[in-house]
Each structure stands twice: as C-alpha cells, then as structure tokens.
Amino acid sequence: MCVHNNEKDTAIQSAMRKHLCEIMLDSRQYGWEKARSFHALILAQMEQGRLTWLDSAGIQYERQRRGYLPSPPREKHAISKYLPPSQEKIELCTFYQADNCPKDTNHNGLKHACSYCFTKLGRTFRHPLVSCNIKKQDEAHASEGQ
C-alpha cells in the first residue's frame, strides 16, 4: 500500500480525477472511441515527457487542437451556466457569434458563448458560432443523409 501525504501527490491525484471526468464527458459527447483515443494521446505525450498531470494548460491545448471543446469549469459559481435555458435567462453577444466583438470578455450582461451549443445542449461554451465544431459535425451528418 502506498500512502501519499505531500501536496504535489494530492495535486497529481486531483489532476488525474479531473482528466477522468473529462474523458467521461467526452465519451458522452463524442463517443467512447474518440474519448479513448484522446486519452491514449495524452498518455503517450506523458510517456514522452511532453506533458505531466500538472500541465493542465498543455492538456487543454491538446483538447482544442484535436477538435474537442473545453471541459466545463469546475468552480461552484459556474454551475448556473449549465442550467437549461428555461430555468435561467442567458443573453448571448451577437457580435461574438461572428467572432467580431471588440470586447474580450462578457459585457453588459451579454455572454461570449456559442449560440448553437447553447440552443442544442443548453450549455455555454466559450467559442464563437463560426468556429463551432458541433455545428460543423451536425451539418456534415445532415449533408451525408441527403
């Protein structure tokens, strides 16, 4: 039995649990094969010394680079973002949808989030509509069916 008492081990364990949660969310959204492939990619990069469990920015960079959406934030105050639209009024910035908003952050009660993901999933993801991978995938599936 191995007992870890230092802060670094606790941080590593926390990062591993976060990664596991992200994989489970990814499997629901993208399917198990794609989630498992991404996990294998991260482990391979760790074995090569390019990433560590504590390199959350590097892992998130790989997620975005491979076409995954960022995972939802874990902060308690962010939970209200993920309520269905019928339970919370959220107004989205229309300029941000075209990636043309001069503001870098949410402003005047308007959120910078994808309107397609919000309408379809009831969740706010910080990417503009014009670069929404879910919308692109849905459009590709729709065109295949025609």
Domain span at residue 44? Answer: 7-65
HSE-CB of 37 using CA atoms within 13 angstroms: 8
What was the pLDDT predicted at 33? 84
Q: Are 98 and 64 a contacting pair, CB within 8 Å?
A: no
From 39, 65, 91, the end of a domain falls on: 65
One domain, residues 136 and 82: yes
The neighbouring-strand residues paired with 12 are none
> Could you tell me the pLDDT band of residue 7, with boundaries at 50, 70 and 90?
low
Report d(CA 48, CA 141) in Å as an integer: 36
Report d(CA 96, CA 105) in Å as an integer: 10
* Residue 98 DSSP symbol: T
Residue 40 pLDDT exceeds 50: yes
> Could you tell me the pLDDT band of residue 89, with boundaries at 50, 70 and 90?
low
One domain, residues 86 and 140: yes
> Could you tell me the pLDDT band of residue 146, with boundaries at 50, 70 and 90?
low
State whether residue 119 is helix, strand or coil. Answer: helix
The number of distinct structural domains making up the chain is 2
Q: Are 18 and 11 a contacting pair, CB within 8 Å?
A: no
State whether residue 127 is helix, strand or coil. Answer: coil
114 versus 70: which is more confidently predicted? 114
One domain, residues 85 and 35: no
Helix and strand numbers (H, E) in the chain are 6, 2
One domain, residues 55 and 102: no
Q: Are 96 and 63 a contacting pair, CB within 8 Å?
A: no
From 27, 43, 65, the end of a domain falls on: 65
One domain, residues 96 and 140: yes
Does a structural domain hold residue 53? yes
From 28, 44, 65, the end of a domain falls on: 65
One domain, residues 29 and 59: yes
69 versus 131: which is more confidently predicted? 131
What was the pLDDT predicted at 131? 92
Report d(CA 92, CA 125) in Å as an integer: 11
**Model pTM?**
0.42
Residue 84 neighbours by CB under 8 Å, 6+ apart: 122
